[in-house]
């Protein structure tokens, strides 16, 4: 038979994508199941499945249940056909994971960052990426890509325009990393990456309208509407840490006054904790756990200020869930009540009727898992015949 051309080739691509999608989402499936699910005829399904098996993307496993007659062979997605690297470049750490193609973590590593100069951070970043890649088992596709979440504003070409806490401007990170490894690289803001992580693997699974609030040194948000990340006209959406919650409040590095993150971030918490003699979030949580009322009161206050900003977010977006993530999620038990009380008091009743406030299920891994997802997502796009 001649190789299909033009429209036929396009139809084949589309059908292959449909079959692969069905297997990724609903496996184990028999060929007959796929035919029923997709409406494609059995001969077409068999031929496309064979292509996917030949491409190492689909595996046959044992025998399924039969409704009579011969037992069908079941098909699953070959999640170890390749691996992805996810990186969360923080302000004082770099965290990395190696995942399979379903996003399952195979290996993880973290290094502390003590200096922020690019010439110091880049070698650390490369070392971490290489240590993760070295853990990747033999596989048909190898490492398929690298996703990196960063604490700053990123444009569509993967350039970090501004990362205030690292004091970086105009860093072409995507170019640097993809040139070095000759692999697809995807850079996004850490709050967007965290939102993706929770949407795919964490508390936001199956939820269409989700706002992820990354509360670390600053506050960033990742907005998921209709299960898609909303990035705005230039990719800069979600800078809700700079929402004013105090009209004549403290000056912010962004030029505004009274920004939310000045009152409700980890940085704000530690500023208030210093006079009490506590220097880290973990120390403060430990003190609260041991009954220190001043520490408990501090968390209540941060929780209330977090709630004020969240109330605005809820009134604007009418989400089904708000997920509080990053470092502050570690203090869930101490901030949860005051967050909820404040949101209840300050949101419109219609908006909070269906609202759930959750904490990141992936804890501190939301962003790093989301970063790996970017690489996986692009891999699927390529094997389905996209650009
Ligand atoms: Zn600001």
Distance (angstroms) between ligand 1 centre and the Cα of 131 equals 37
pLDDT tens per residue, range 218-237: 999 999 999 999 999 888 88
Residue-by-residue DSSP string for 37-91 = HH---HHHHHHHHHHHHHTTSEEEEEE---SSSSPPEEEEE-TTS-EEEEEEE-S
Answer whether residue 284 shows pLDDT above 90.
Answer: yes
pLDDT at 71: 77
Q: Is 75 helix (H, G, I), strand (E, B) or coil?
A: strand
| H-helix or E-strand spanning residue 121 | helix 118-134
**Residue 308 located in a structural domain:** yes
Question: Are residues 329 and 252 part of one domain?
Answer: yes
Which CATH number belongs to the domain containing residue 116 in this structure? 3.30.420.40
Long-range contacts of residues 119-128, Cβ cutoff 8 Å, at least 24 apart: 121/89, 121/94, 121/166, 122/176, 124/94, 125/87, 125/89, 125/94, 125/177, 126/180, 128/87, 128/94, 128/96
pLDDT tens per residue, range 314-325: 999 999 999 999
Distance (angstroms) between ligand 1 centre and the Cα of 13 equals 47
Question: Are residues 230 and 340 part of one domain?
Answer: yes
pLDDT at 387: 42
**Residue 65 located in a structural domain:** yes
Distance (angstroms) between ligand 1 centre and the Cα of 253 equals 6
pLDDT tens per residue, range 325-381: 999 999 999 999 999 999 999 999 988 888 999 999 999 999 999 999 999 999 999
Answer whether residue 300 shows pLDDT above 80.
Answer: yes
Q: How far apart are CA 166 and CA 116, in angstroms?
A: 5
Distance (angstroms) between ligand 1 centre and the Cα of 266 equals 15
Answer whether residue 302 shows pLDDT above 90.
Answer: yes
Please compute the mean of the pLDDT values over residues 66-70 and round it to a whole number: 68
Structural domain count of the chain: 3
Last residue of a domain, one of 77, 106, 138: 77
Distance (angstroms) between ligand 1 centre and the Cα of 256 equals 5
The distance from CA 189 to its chain's CA centroid, rounded to whole angstroms, is: 10
Give the domain range for residue 39.
6-77
Q: Which residues surround ligand 1, an ion (CB under 5 A)?
A: 242, 252, 254, 256, 259
Distance (angstroms) between ligand 1 centre and the Cα of 245 equals 10
Place of tokens 């499936």: 29
**Residue 199 located in a structural domain:** no
Question: Are residues 281 and 348 part of one domain?
Answer: yes
Q: How far apart are CA 23 and CA 30, in angstroms?
A: 9
**Residue 261 located in a structural domain:** yes
Distance (angstroms) between ligand 1 centre and the Cα of 254 equals 4
Last residue of a domain, one of 77, 106, 133: 77
pLDDT at 72: 83
Distance (angstroms) between ligand 1 centre and the Cα of 186 equals 26
Distance (angstroms) between ligand 1 centre and the Cα of 198 equals 25
Indicate the DSSP class of residue 348.
Answer: -
Question: Are residues 184 and 238 part of one domain?
Answer: no
Answer whether residue 275 shows pLDDT above 60.
Answer: yes
Question: Are residues 348 and 220 part of one domain?
Answer: yes
Question: Are residues 351 and 302 part of one domain?
Answer: yes
pLDDT tens per residue, range 146-168: 999 999 999 999 999 999 889 99
């Amino acid at each position: 038979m001649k190789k299909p051309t033009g429209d036929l080739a396009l139809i084949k691509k589309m059908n292959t994508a449909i079959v692969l999608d069905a297997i990724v989402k609903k496996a184990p499936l028999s060929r007959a199941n796929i035919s029923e699910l997709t409406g494609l005829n059995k001969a077409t399904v068999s031929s496309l499945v064979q292509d996917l098996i030949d491409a190492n993307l689909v595996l046959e496993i044992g025998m399924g249940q039969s409704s009579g007659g011969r037992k069908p062979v079941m098909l699953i997605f070959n999640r170890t056909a390749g691996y992805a690297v996810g990186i969360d470049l923080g302000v004082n750490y770099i965290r990395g994971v190696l995942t399979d193609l379903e996003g399952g973590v195979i290996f993880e590593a973290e290094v502390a960052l003590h200096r922020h100069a690019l010439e110091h951070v880049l070698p650390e970043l490369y070392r971490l990426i290489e240590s993760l890649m070295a853990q990747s088992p033999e596989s048909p596709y190898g490492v398929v890509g690298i996703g990196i979440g960063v604490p700053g504003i990123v444009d569509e070409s993967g350039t970090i325009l501004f990362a205030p806490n690292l004091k970086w401007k105009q860093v072409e990170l995507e170019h640097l990393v993809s040139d070095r490894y000759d692999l697809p690289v995807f850079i996004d803001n850490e709050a967007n990456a965290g939102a993706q992580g929770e949407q795919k693997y964490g508390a936001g699974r199956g939820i269409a309208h989700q706002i992820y609030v990354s509360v670390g040194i600053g506050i960033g948000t990742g907005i998921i509407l209709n299960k898609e990340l909303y990035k705005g006209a230039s990719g800069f959406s979600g800078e809700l840490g700079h929402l004013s919650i105090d009209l004549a409040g403290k000056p912010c590095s962004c030029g505004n006054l009274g920004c939310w993150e000045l009152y409700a971030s980890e940085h704000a918490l530690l500023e208030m904790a210093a006079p009490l003699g506590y220097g880290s979030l973990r120390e403060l949580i430990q003190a609260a756990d041991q009954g220190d009322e001043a520490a408990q009161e501090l968390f209540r206050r941060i929780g209330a200020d977090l709630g004020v900003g969240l109330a605005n977010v809820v009134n604007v977006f009418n989400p089904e869930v708000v997920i509080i993530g990053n470092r502050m999620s570690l203090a869930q038990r101490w901030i949860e009540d005051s967050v909820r009380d404040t949101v209840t008091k300050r949101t419109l009743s219609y908006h909070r009727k269906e609202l759930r406030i959750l904490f990141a299920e992936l804890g501190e891994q939301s962003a790093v898992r989301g970063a790996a997802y970017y690489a996986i997502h692009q891999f699927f796009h390529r094997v389905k015949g996209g650009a």
